Chain A
């Protein structure tokens, strides 16, 4: 304000600048959370880039990849089978109830098959594996950080991203589609038991409509989604675990943040991936 008296020839200018400054400040305050979100997104992308760069560098440490694949894949088998079975069964039950209004229960195979392939299997698999393996990844990396194990790696000239993040990311990308297919198969088994064995719908008709209408492309789309969900889950878990500072409480907070971020991003990505895939493979009859 003292500037205004120092430059009396141009009195309006200073007031204008002040307004501009306060507008900038206001905009800054309004957009600060957005800016923070963009910064965090950027850090995730940097981590992703580094993890992929290290993928092609020696040593390859195949054992670490296999261990992670075993943990994410084989270890998640029981929960995926359990959830897959009941998801298939419940979807069949609801489809039969709806289709019975038109006496068209034979379409249940198609309905359950396509729902599982395109949506239920990839999304539920990603959510279940996030809950089981994603949380464990964040906790493990977080406690390695606070007990200086990650620093110890560096002192042996081992890059922590190379040693810890790359195997988890690659294992997730490889195992999520596999588990999604397991979910599909077991889900169909659940649907079979409900529709054929419990509701006595004609198996020949159900099978024929399923074979005719469920396209391999439905499975391809589901599997593409599961790959991207795998990236999102591993990235969220590793990022949160890697950036823990402090003590045990922070590890817990990081685990929660990893599970929330991963689950939310799976559901949001799901929407956008559907939109993108509708452009690439336009649905029939539209």
Chain B
């Protein structure tokens, strides 16, 4: 890692330095230092209530930290004004845990929403981009899918429509908030496959928040473990397996997803 975080770095797209955040008396983040690698799948693991979602909301500027910096392509996004933060937000797409599709809009309107809100594009171009995504995410083989409302879709399809909505404005970075929560093993593998394929096909940097160990070790290029508001372990899966932090071992071993080497 280079030390100069305030210039664009070819390897690291997002660099977090000394991030602190409290809600009232509760300290949620206590000095996070973390880098996310460009074009790779970066996964942040941690138990419930360890601040994963809070961390993710900071990345998009939805929460302001008490102190610390977040550099996206070398630009510190902390404390930016409305217009500047909106510009940074366009680099991001967010895939919510339960898709968070708008109930009152159909599939096409949901996917087109970011384009309609952000730009004045001709309808034909919007439809072209929406249909292209429907095709690439295998949603076009369901008859009449374009006019369906979220309530008429299965959980897996909703997730893919949510992904399409996140991708439609061609983001550089995709954030996934616990994408496999509440899915059966087959559906989980499908989502894993979807994340991996999206990273490959669209060339995006993926940041995934997860507590699903099996899928984390399947798809991650880099893993960071958040515990009690700090990052206690960070590296490639192989690096983490070689010299696991005791907490990481505690967290990962019960799932039986991976085998650690001998404790160092």
Note whether A and B form a binding pair: yes
Does the CB pair B97–A148 fall under 8 Å? yes
Quick one: closest A residue to B169, CB to CB? A156
With both chains docked as a complex, state the minimum distance between the C-beta of B174 and any C-beta of chain A, in angstroms.
12
Q: Which of A143, A148, A157 contacts B86 (CB 8 A)?
A: A157
Q: Which residues of B contact A148 (CB under 8 A)?
A: 96-98, 100
Does B4 lie at the interface of the complex (its beta carbon under 8 Å from any beta carbon of A)? no
Q: Mark A63-93, 1 if CB is under 8 A from B, else 0.
A: 0000000000000000000000000000000
With both chains docked as a complex, state the minimum distance between the C-beta of B56 and any C-beta of chain A, in angstroms.
11
Complex CA–CA separation, A143 to B102 (angstroms): 11
Q: Which residues of A contact B97 (CB under 8 A)?
A: 148
Complex CA–CA separation, A155 to B175 (angstroms): 11
Q: Which of A143, A152, A156 contacts B118 (CB 8 A)?
A: A156
Does the CB pair B103–A149 fall under 8 Å? yes
Contacts A149-B100, A149-B102, A152-B100 hold; do A158 and B94 have CB atoms under 8 A apart? no
Quick one: closest A residue to B89, CB to CB? A157
Does A128 lie at the interface of the complex (its beta carbon under 8 Å from any beta carbon of B)? no
Does the CB pair B96–A157 fall under 8 Å? no
Q: Which residues of B contact A158 (CB under 8 A)?
A: 117
Does A250 lie at the interface of the complex (its beta carbon under 8 Å from any beta carbon of B)? no
Q: Which residues of A contact B98 (CB under 8 A)?
A: 147-148
Does the CB pair A147–B100 fall under 8 Å? yes
With both chains docked as a complex, state the minimum distance between the C-beta of B249 and any C-beta of chain A, in angstroms.
32
With both chains docked as a complex, state the minimum distance between the C-beta of B155 and any C-beta of chain A, in angstroms.
13
Complex CA–CA separation, A148 to B98 (angstroms): 8
Quick one: closest B residue to A148, CB to CB? B100
- Knowing that A59-B117, A156-B118, A157-B85 touch, tell me 5 more A-B residue pairs with CB under 8 angstroms: A144-B103, A151-B96, A154-B62, A155-B94, A157-B89
Q: Jot down 30 A-B pairs with beta carbons below 8 A, ordered by A.
A: A59-B117, A143-B103, A144-B102, A147-B100, A147-B103, A148-B96, A148-B98, A148-B100, A149-B102, A149-B103, A151-B62, A151-B96, A152-B94, A152-B96, A152-B102, A154-B62, A155-B60, A155-B89, A155-B92, A155-B94, A156-B89, A156-B113, A156-B114, A156-B117, A156-B118, A157-B86, A157-B89, A157-B90, A157-B117, A157-B118
- A-B pairs with lowest CB-CB distance, top 3: A157-B86, A148-B100, A152-B100
